[in-house]
Structure 1
Amino acid sequence: MLNLLYNFSIRSYSFIISLLVPFNAKARFWIDGRKDIFERLKTAINGQNSSNKIAWFHCASLGEFEQGRPVIEAFRAKYATYKIIVTFFSPSGFEVRKNYTGADFIFYLPADTPENARKFIEIVKPSIAFFVKYEFWRNYLAELQKYQIPAISFSTIFRPSQLFFKPYGGFYRKILKQFDHILVQNKESYNLLQSIDIQQITLAGDTRFDRVKQIVDAKKDIQIAKDFKANRQVFMVGSAWQTDMEVLIPFMNSEIKVSKTVFVIAPHEIHREEINTWQKQIQLKSICFSEVKPETQLTDYQVLIIDNIGMLSSLYQYADFAFIGGSFGKGLHNTLEAATFGMPIFFGNKAYHKFQEANDLIRLKGAFAIASTEDISFIFNDLIGDSDRRKQAAKACRDYVLENIGATEKVMHVVESILNN
């Protein structure tokens, strides 16, 4: 009965998404990206050397892709004869990384129905499958198990509130038991899996730390940001939503008068009307990245708005403080990219609790969860007035990243033991 209910819910979700196509761009990408997908898969897979084995990596979205990327690249370096296919559930992952050169094939993942899972596995014939963080698709895992194809989940994290650990969660526990190995981020997750008699587990940490280390090592110079900073103190707002700006704009309008701080704002999504509204509300002189010309005197401006996608991780190198968006809404965005460059970090106090790194950084006094404009103003001014505390917060963030590097190596050790078995 639960299996029927699961499959019905998957089909219902797909149907609802199809109804939203005329009104929602993401829904349109979600549906259009899956049209004729099995024919396109056949064409792509049949066009490769049949002697090549295939490694399949599945990521929900862009954040999970960045989490999985160090493992994808480590796998490619060690197993050069394998072809790599990367699949995405969400348009926000696929549309940004569809041209990623580290994979041979990049597709949307068809919805997790029994027939889709069967067709996908029959066409792709992966020799090993990887699922990043939260991806637990019952039918795909069952199909992999049927053909004895090893399935690995890594950078996975669990909480006691999840259905797997409830007395009535037997159906969901069976899904987890279809994995050959699960590599978890923290000790709590390890203990939770042991409590439901899952033994093929490793406490490996989070591969995102390895990814942000790669970002630091490969950071790009952004001349416009460098010229904007000059010798000034930069407060970076990363992945900003409207709910974040409602708190931050009054802060920006007051703090520039006190601390002479300038601001760089990177919206989570680029909407011209929204940016125009923010510029009208901000009392400081602002300019969009796309408006900068060779003759522009950037030091005449106090706010630089990044109206493009793809450079946020490198922008943090110019920051002295950072606010990470999303936590006044559905969920906090990536704090580690800022932390690795070493600076005090702020975020909303609503939706950060499920993010291990956010809780750790608060505990280490490198990050601060704020509820209001008054909150951020008070803490910011305290840090401005106490240089030792500010330096300690920055060091706590930087050291936290450095101390947690190494999860990719542990994943690859498990991969090696499976493939050499």
Structure 2
Amino acid sequence: MFALYNIGIRLYYLIIWLASFFNPKAKLWIKGRRQQSFVRYHNSIWFHFASLGEFEQGRPVLEQMKLTYPDRPIVITFFSPSGYEVRKNTPLADAVYYLPLDTRGNAARFINTINPSIVIFTKYEYWYHFFAQLYKRRVPLYIISGIFRDGQVFFKWYGGMHRKMLKCVRHFFLQDEHSRQLLAGININNTTVSGDTRLDRVWTNASNPKQLPEIEQFIGSHKTMICGSTWPDDEKLLAELVSEYPEWKFIFAPHELSMEKINHLADLLPPDSCIKYSALPITEGDNNRQCLIIDNMGMLSSLYKYGYMAYIGGGFGVGIHNTLEAAAFGIPVIFGPNYHKFNEAKALISLEAGFSISNEAELRAIVEKLTTDIAYYTASSQQAKQYVDTQKGATEKIVSFIRNSATA
């Protein structure tokens, strides 16, 4: 099994290398790893994030650990370019790297160089050689906001090697009770159900929102739908909604920001109805523009402050994006049908603060209900905000545990 794992890792690298000749993201993945060199540290705290979403999820713990251990260098690694390229200059870290390919030699060299005393991985990503090297050196490895599902390889008869990875983890901080039960079923009991650290992050963001004067100017007094992290399948449905609500404003923050994708979105919308954020501020002749397309990174979490309701993209693909950012501002959230892996989406649906749709008719129906039934809208908004307010607190549990473990 270990031989197959090592072969699989190298095949994966080969596939990414071949893709790098025509795929910009794959090119960054290869180029970034080839060009980086590592600075030697002592007694560092190493955080690993798969991508940008996991960074934002783990950020509250990162910030608190930095305050708790101000004398220790912080090292961050990313697997994906979408995380590294956006956060490579974050002031929260002393160094930011791409995670090297998971081979025994790479893992040993990297860990020898950064010399971590605490290692924290967010949500998922289990790399055998890195975990084994940390375990061998008795470096405590923590998983935060962990979540497990029945169908994962850890719980299959052939998942022995993957279960061995889990044995390398000092403690799991889990999002839900079901994850704890699954791990207990394979005799892993070093667990705490602490919740999802994203709730701490979105609560903090909503408590201290950024002011965006150009957005305020664009919106004026109009009701606004914030369409966050949208994909083409989402945008096709939303384009029809734009025509049906000419008195509304729509702000699109597409998941992919290539010029091709942005132009495709603009072509879906009514003629002369949209303007790009990079073209703001609005001139007098643009006052009638109905749609704004955000063509940069990093604004979405602040945009929800201006929304009457939100549509969250991804639900017609591999899964929805972050619904909590919108819910924290107390606005109802709508998303596509592929939400079942996301506990927060299921919770919001049960509270009638979140709504899953499968087609244009269902989207129209829920928007109409939220627009015409003010009492229903108000209750939905209150439930969304209350959910975030009552579920926060995972960060304090995690940092307190790690701090107490270090002094025990």
Which position in structure 2 is the counterpart of 1:244? 234
Distance 1:213 1:243, change over 3 A: same
Q: How does 1:220-239 map to 2 (within 5 A)?
A: 220-239=210-229
Deviation per residue, 1:149-188 (Å, 9 max, x gap): 1100010001111111123322211111110101100010
* 1:309 aligned counterpart, secondary structure: coil
CA separation in 1, counterparts of 2:124 and 2:55? 12
Alpha-carbon contact 1:56-1:84 (below 8 Å) kept: yes
Change (3 A) 1:288 1:294: closer
* 1:345-365 Cα shifts (integer Å, max 9, x gaps): 11111x211111111111111
Structure 2 counterpart of 1:337: 325
Match 2:393 to one of 406, 411, 419:
406
Equivalent positions of 1:6-85 (< 5 A) are 6-37=5-36, 40-41=37-38, 44-45=39-40, 52-85=42-75
Counterpart CA distance in 2 for 1:24 and 1:240 is 21
Q: How many Å separate the matches in 1 of 2:133 and 2:143?
A: 16
- Cα deviation digits, residues 182-223 of structure 1 (max 9, x gap): 110001001111111111110100000111122123321111
Q: Would the aligned equivalents of 2:218 and 2:282 in 1 still touch at CA under 8 Å?
A: no
For the residue of structure 2 that corresponds to 1:287, the secondary structure is: strand
The answer for the alignment partner of 1:261 in structure 2 is 248
Greater mean deviation of Cα atoms: 96-105 or 298-307: 298-307
Q: Residues 282-334 of structure 1, C-alpha deviation per residue, up to 9 Å, x if partnerless?
A: 22621111112463465422111111111111111000010001111122111
In 2, Cα distance between equivalents of 1:420 and 1:293: 54
Instruction: State which of 92, 97, 100 in structure 2 corresponds to 1:110.
Output: 100
Question: In the alignment, which residue of structure 2 is the partner of 1:98?
Answer: 88
- SS at structure 1 position matched to 2:71: coil
Out of 271, 275, 280, the residue aligned to residue 292 of structure 1 is 280
Structure 2 match to 1:385? 372
Q: Contact 1:227–1:299 (CA<8 Å) still a contact in 2? A: no
Counterpart Cα distance in 1 of 2:287 and 2:397: 46
Per the TM alignment, residue 9 of structure 1 is displaced from its structure 2 partner at its CA by 0.7
- One-letter code aligned to 1:387: I
Name which of 336, 346, 352 aligns with 2:334. Answer: 346
2:342 partner amino acid: F
Mapped partners of 2:342, 2:192: distance in 1 = 19
SS at match of 2:107: helix
- Whole-angstrom distance in 2 between the partners of 1:231 and 1:101: 37
CA distance in 1, matches of 2:3, 2:111: 21
Q: Is the 8 A contact 2:195 2:391 kept in 1?
A: yes
2:265 and 2:53 map into 1 onto residues whose CA distance is 26
Report % sequence identity: 42
Deviates more, 1:140-149 or 1:304-313: 304-313
Counterpart of 2:157 in structure 1: which amino acid? P
Change (3 A) 1:151 1:294: same
Kindly state the Cα deviation for residue 36 of structure 1 after the two structures are TM-superposed: 4.5
Tell me which residue corresponds to 1:276: 263
Aligned equivalents of 1:281 and 1:68: distance in 2?
36
Corresponding residue number in structure 2 for 1:183: 173
Q: Which amino acid aligns with 1:167?
A: W
Matches for 1:174-213 after TM superposition, within 5 Å: 174-213=164-203
Aligned to 1:278, the other structure's residue is in SS state: helix
Counterparts of 1:411 and 1:315 in 2: how far apart (Å)? Answer: 29
Q: Contact (CA 8 Å) 1:183, 1:411: kept in 2 or not?
A: yes
Aligned length: 407
Distance 1:297 1:223, change over 3 A: farther
Cα distance in structure 1, aligned partners of 2:284 and 2:298: 23
* TM-score for the superposition, normalised by structure 1: 0.94
Matched, 1:309 2:294: no
Secondary structure class of the residue paired with 2:365: helix
Gaps of 5+ in 2: none
- 1:396 maps to 383
- AA in 2 matched with 1:405: K
Match of 1:33, SS?
A: helix
Contact 1:228 1:298 in 2 (8 A): no
Moved over 4 A (4+): none
Q: In structure 2, what is the Cα distance between the partners aligned to 1:233 and 1:86?
A: 40
Residue identity opposite 1:201 in structure 2: T
CA positional deviation for 1:109: 0.5
Partners of 1:232 and 1:297 in 2: CA distance: 17
Q: Shift of residue 276 of structure 1?
A: 2.5
- Point out where structure 1 has 5 or more consecutive residues left out of the alignment: none
- Give CA deviations for 1:250-279 in whole Å, capped at 9, x if unaligned: 1222233xxx22211111121223322332
Letter in 1 for 2:367: F
Question: 1:380 & 1:188 partners in 2: Cα distance?
Answer: 33
State the match for 1:139 in structure 2.
Answer: 129
CA distance in 1, matches of 2:300, 2:113: 37
Q: 1:298 to 1:419 in 2, by over 3 A?
A: farther
1:263·1:304 contact (CA, 8 Å) conserved in 2? yes
Corresponding residue number in structure 1 for 2:159: 169
- Aligned equivalents of 2:239, 2:96: Cα separation in 1: 39
